[in-house]
Amino acid sequence: MEINDILMSKLKDQRGVVAVVVAIVMVVLLSFVALAVDVGYMFTTKNELQNVADSSALAATGLLGEIYTGMSYSQQQSYNITTDNHYDDAIFSGTDINANDKLSIEQMAYETAHENKAAGIGIEVFPGTGDVQIGKWDQNADPPFIETPNQPNAVQVIARRDDTQNLKIGTFFARIFGIDDVAVSAIAVAALTGQGSAGEGEIELPIGISLRWFELNADEEGNYCGKRIQFSPSTEPTACAGWNTWDNSPSNDSKERNILDNLNGIDPDTDYDNPDITVNNISFDFLNGDLSQNTFYALQTLFQIKGYDVTPDPDGDDGPLEGKPAAGVDDATGNPIPCSGLGGWDATIVASEGQPNIQLDSKLDPSLYPDGTQRYEHRWATTVVVYDGDCTPSGEQPIVGFVEIELEYVGDASDKAIYGKILCDYVEGPSIGGGGSFGKYGSIPNLVR
C-alpha cells in the first residue's frame, strides 16, 4: 500500500507540471497569434499608406511638370513656386493675391491622398506639417531631396496614421499586453527625371553628344551647364560629338544631307524623320568625320530657319539665350519667333553653289540686315541625343539620354566650325522621364523613393 501511495503522488505531481507547461505554451501561442495578426494588419496598413503617398506625390509632381511645359526656357530658369502663378486652378480665384503654384501643387497632393484609404479611412496630408514638401531631387546629393521654391523638380509626401495625423491604427490581440494602437507611416518622392523618350519627328538636329563629354567636362560638383561643346571640326579638343542618320544604317554623308533637307523644308515630303526613341532601347548610326561642303550648306540653312537672332548680351556674361530676340517673342508661349517658317519673319532662301541657303543679311555686307541695320547674333535652342561611345563615333551607338543645347555658331564651308552651349534645368513636354540625367527633364514624373 505504501508503494501505491508513492506512485499515485508522483503521478499527480506530473499532472500538475503538465498543466503548468500547457498554460505557459498557450500564453506563448496566443502571443504569437497576437503578433501575427497585429503585425500583419500593421504591414497591410503601411502598404496602403505607401500607395497613398505614391499616388499623391506622382499627381503633385505631374502638375508641376504640366506647369513647366507652359513656360519658356527663360521663365523656367527664374521660376519660383511661391511668387509665380502659372497654373489656372479653379480652386483659387484669380483675384486672390495669395494664389500661387505652391498652393495648387499642395492642393493636388491633398486631394489625391484623400481619395485613397488606409485601414478604412481617407488619408489627409497637410503641407503645414511637412507632409507635403516641394523641392529638388538629386540622387547624387546628400540628402538627395531638399525643399526649395526655386526651380523645383520633385514632391515628397508622407502619409501617416499617428498622433499627428489620421490617428493611430487600433490593435486586436495586442491589447492583452496593453498595446491599444500603433503608429504607421510611409514616404514617397516623385521627380521629373531625365527625358527618357521622344516621339517620331520630335528631334530637329541629327547629332549626338558623347556620354564621355559630360564625364570629362563636369566640375567638382558635377556641373557642366553653360559649358561649350564643339561639334565640328571633330579634331578640336572640345569636340566630343558626332553626326548620325538616326537608325538608318549604314550612315553616309548623302543620307545626312537628305535628313537636313527634310528638316529645313527643302524636301518635306520624304520620310527622313527620327524614329520613336526610348533610351537604352535603340541605337543610332553615326558618321565618322565632318560633313561635306554641300551637306554643311544644308546645316547652315537649318540653323537659320530654326533659330532666331538676339540683341547683344545685356549683362556681358554670354549666358545661354541671353539678349532679347530680335524677331520678337510670341505672346502666347513666351518663346522667340523663329526667323522663317510658320509665323517667321524676313528670311529668304536662295541658291548657293547648287544648294539652298538662308540669307538673313545684306547680299553686299553679311554683317547687315537687308534694311542696312547691324545684324545680331543667331541662336538655336534644340534637343539632341546623348550616346554611349567615344568622342569620334562611328557606326551604331546606344542612345542613353537627351540634352538641350543652344547652338551658337555655324560657320561657312571653309572652316566648318560648329559650337554651342549645354543648357540645363529645362523641362519639355509632354515627355516621359526615366532617362539619363543631362539637365533635360521629362514632364511626366517617376517615383524615385
- Separation of alpha carbons 25 and 69, rounded Å: 65
- Separation of alpha carbons 74 and 320, rounded Å: 9
- 39 and 102 housed in the same domain: yes
CB-CB neighbours of 251 under 10 Å: 24
445 domain residue, yes or no: no
pLDDT band at 172 (very low <50, low <70, confident <90, very high): low
CB-CB neighbours of 343 under 10 Å: 9
- Separation of alpha carbons 343 and 44, rounded Å: 57
- Separation of alpha carbons 442 and 435, rounded Å: 8
420 domain residue, yes or no: yes
The 10s digit of each residue's pLDDT in 48-92 is 889 999 999 999 999 999 999 888 888 888 899 998 887 765 444
Q: Is 23 helix (H, G, I), strand (E, B) or coil?
A: helix
31 vs 396, higher pLDDT? 396
Averaged pLDDT for residues 233-260: 88
Q: Count CA atoms closer than 13 A to 419's CA, side-chain side.
A: 14
- Separation of alpha carbons 186 and 161, rounded Å: 9
CA angle, 24 then 27 then 29, to 5°: 110
77 domain residue, yes or no: yes
The distance from CA 16 to its chain's CA centroid, rounded to whole angstroms, is 72
Report the range of poorest mean pLDDT among 161-170, 303-312, 342-351. Answer: 342-351
Sign of the Cα torsion 141, 143, 146, 152 reads positive
448 domain residue, yes or no: no
- Separation of alpha carbons 404 and 269, rounded Å: 27
Averaged pLDDT for residues 281-288: 93
Average pLDDT, the chain: 78
Residue 361: per-residue pLDDT: 41
- 174 and 297 housed in the same domain: no
92 vs 392, higher pLDDT? 392
281 - beta bridge partners?
Answer: none
CB 399 within 8 A of CB 277: yes
Tell me how far apart the 2 most distant CA atoms of the chain are, in Å.
139
- 330 and 287 housed in the same domain: yes
CA distances from 313 to 152, 409, 434 (A): 27, 15, 35
What are the phi and psi torsion angles at 113 (to 5°)?
-65, -40
Domain range spanning residue 135?
Answer: 2-191
Instruction: Classify residue 174 by its DSSP letter.
Output: G
Sign of the Cα torsion 71, 72, 75, 77 reads positive
Query: Is residue 404 pLDDT above 80, yes or no?
Result: yes
Antiparallel, parallel or unpaired: β 377-387 and 207-210: parallel
| Most confident of the following: 66-75, 88-97, 143-152, 232-241 | 143-152
- 149 and 222 housed in the same domain: no
The 10s digit of each residue's pLDDT in 349-372 is 333 343 333 444 434 454 555 555
pLDDT band at 275 (very low <50, low <70, confident <90, very high): very high
Boundary (domain end) residue, out of 191, 221, 237? 191
Residue 2: per-residue pLDDT: 64
- 223 and 298 housed in the same domain: yes
pLDDT band at 158 (very low <50, low <70, confident <90, very high): very high
- 245 and 341 housed in the same domain: yes
Residue 362: per-residue pLDDT: 37
Boundary (domain end) residue, out of 158, 191, 224? 191
Residue 286: per-residue pLDDT: 94
Query: Is residue 188 pLDDT above 80, yes or no?
Result: yes
227 domain residue, yes or no: yes
CB 68 within 8 A of CB 76: yes
Label residue 405 exposed, middle or buried (CB < 10 Å: 0-12, 13-18, 19+): buried
CB 169 within 8 A of CB 159: no
Residue 34: per-residue pLDDT: 63
Q: Is the peptide bond before 366 cis (omega within 30 degrees of 0)?
A: no
- 351 and 434 housed in the same domain: yes
Q: Where are the alpha helices (DSSP H) in 82-166?
A: 101-114
449 domain residue, yes or no: no
pLDDT band at 136 (very low <50, low <70, confident <90, very high): very high
- 21 and 115 housed in the same domain: yes
- 14 and 155 housed in the same domain: yes
Residue 388: per-residue pLDDT: 95
Q: Which amino acid is at 29?
A: L
Boundary (domain end) residue, out of 157, 191, 225? 191
- Specify the number of domains making up the chain: 2
- 209 and 162 housed in the same domain: no
CA angle, 56 then 60 then 150, to 5°: 135
The 10s digit of each residue's pLDDT in 292-308 is 888 888 888 788 778 77
269 vs 251, higher pLDDT? 251
- Separation of alpha carbons 189 and 139, rounded Å: 11
Residue 353: per-residue pLDDT: 41
- 219 and 364 housed in the same domain: yes
- 116 and 240 housed in the same domain: no
